[in-house]
Amino acid sequence: MRLNDPTVDSTDRPRARSAVDPDKIAPSAGAILDAAEALFGRRGYAATSVDAICTASALPVGSIYHHFGSKSAILSAVLDRAGLRFFAELDDAVGARLEPEPRMRKYFEQAPNLMARNANYFRILVATLQQDGDKQLLDFARQSVAAAAATLAAVIEPVAAAAGVRDPAALSLDMAERTNSYALGAAILASYDAQRLRARMAPLYELIRGTIDKAAAQDEGATAGRVT
């Protein structure tokens, strides 16, 4: 069974397909993922056995293999579900009725609080990104990061387009990928503490906004140069 094939489930959020649809997850599968996320976040993936997940979820090993098939499949589903949950919570915190500029600003304002709330997800993600000896696990983490970048790029792109950037999609994805790197580093240095994380991420919005303005000005200058 192959998990996390890149796909697009909606126009709003490109995401990776997991073994379990988050909207239709069985209670027992949810209990397994809850237990695994807590254990992976606290102990790490390698140090967490399937037996430990059985104990923490109060479910037999047969139930785990029925839903997921392997420990690596559990990790894939944990990353997928936690990533979707994080952005759903961020959407709820930001609201749906804001114009692109204030919406982007509020995304950056609210992200540190929700990163701290979802600290286990980010701990697991960072640790899995370092699994260069296990290509499957590394692919799971990279797909989660790519899905996050695509989601954030969709928030940045309308602002870049309104500013007059010639290729807002490309710039927005680049800014989203840079944001991922910045935010993950900030989370590690802040030890996932909300207050410290807010302080470390405070400059990020202005950096992104300034990059958009600079790109728009460069594009305008290049266009003017061709006209003259």
- Give 140-190 pLDDT, tens digit per residue: 999 999 999 999 999 999 999 999 999 999 999 999 999 999 999 999 999
User: 171 vs 93, 120, 135, 164, 228, CA distance in Å?
Assistant: 25, 30, 29, 12, 26
Work out the pLDDT band at 220, boundaries 50, 70, 90.
confident
Name the strand (E) or helix (H) holding 1.
Answer: none
Indicate whether this model's pTM tops 0.75. Answer: yes
* Sign of the four-CA dihedral 10, 13, 14, 17: negative
* pLDDT greater than 70 at residue 8: no
Which pLDDT band, with edges at 50, 70 and 90, does 132 fall under?
Answer: confident
| pLDDT beyond 70 at 18 | no
State the pLDDT at residue 131.
Answer: 85
Is 216 or 228 the better-scoring residue by pLDDT? Answer: 216
C-alpha–C-alpha distance, residues 118 and 82, integer Å: 8
